[in-house]
Amino acid sequence: MSFRREPRHLRAALAEVIARRGLADRGGARQLAEMWVRVAGQKISQQTLVTSLRNGVLHVGVTNSVLLSELAGFHRKALLTVLRQENAGACIRDIRFTLKSSGRPTQAEDRS
């Protein structure tokens, strides 16, 4: 049994690696943040921040544990459904909510 693949252009292979590793430009992060505001709504988005999209999992920082529990327990599936409808090209397969201490999460917290 042979699993030989057809040759691929280097451009296509690099694009796949960049997408899988989450190395896309910061413009993509801005687009994800804007999409999150549209999907989650103003009230929730003021207390959350999209920190990254890695391997199909959207990582969202949340300012308090009560909201984190509510989002993870009651709203995750609905938010995921709407996210998939809004941006089918993003291939979002799950959402992971994490608690970010002191105030509104920032992009700098994600880098540490």
Please report, for the domain that includes residue 34, its CATH number: 3.30.300.180
- The pLDDT assigned to 31 comes to 84
The answer to whether position 84 is within a domain reads: yes
The answer to whether position 61 is within a domain reads: yes
What are the residue ranges in the chain where pLDDT is below 70? 1-4, 8-9, 11-27, 102-112
- The pLDDT assigned to 52 comes to 87
CA neighbours closer than 13 Å in the CB half-sphere of residue 27: 1
Residues 6+ apart with CB under 8 A from 61: 48, 49, 50, 51, 97, 98, 99, 100, 105, 109, 110
- The pLDDT assigned to 75 comes to 96
Number of domains comprising the chain = 1
Q: Which domain holds residue 29?
A: 25-111
| Three-class secondary structure of residue 48 per DSSP | strand
The answer to whether position 12 is within a domain reads: no
pTM of the model: 0.67
User: Measured in Å, how far apart are the chain's first and last C-alpha atoms?
Assistant: 46
